[in-house]
Amino acid sequence: MYKVNFTFSKSGWMKYISHLDLMRLFTRSMRRAGLPLKITQGFSPHPKFSIKRALKLGLESDNEEASIILRMPVALEDFKNKLQAQLPEGIEIRSVSPLPVSPLPVKLDNRPTG
């Protein structure tokens, strides 16, 4: 698994898009871009994607942070170009950086032996 952090701006008519719609917009754009998204398991699978802060409706921003977990590594410039090509006017990817993925926690067995 590979975690990618990116910053984006939201301006123009896109300032009127809600946080949940923005989440949906990014996940659909990433799927259309053909990025190898890590999908959760369970009853309602969805990409492992998060936006750091929810921006109020009607506000523009130049530095919003988001992260996504990918199944395979993708060159950062390819990630930026492929995703930007699928995003509407008013959403712009500013920067992309890799993040280390912390290993899964080890489950400890506290049962007594013997």
pLDDT in tens, the chain (114 residues): 899 999 999 999 999 999 999 999 999 999 999 999 999 888 998 899 999 999 889 999 999 999 999 999 999 999 999 999 999 999 999 999 998 766 655 555 555 655
Number of domains in the chain: 1
Residue 26 maps to a domain: yes
Residue 35 maps to a domain: yes
The candidate with the shortest Cα–Cα distance to 9, out of 51, 61, 59, is 61
Q: Measured on CA atoms in the order 6, 3, 102, 10, is the torsion positive or negative?
A: positive
Residue 114 maps to a domain: no
Expressed in percent and rounded to 5, the helix, strand and coil fractions of the chain are: 25, 30, 45
CATH code, domain with 21 = 3.30.70.580
**Which SS3 state, helix, strand or coil, does residue 90 take?**
coil
Residue 109 maps to a domain: no
Residue 56 maps to a domain: yes
Residue 71 maps to a domain: yes
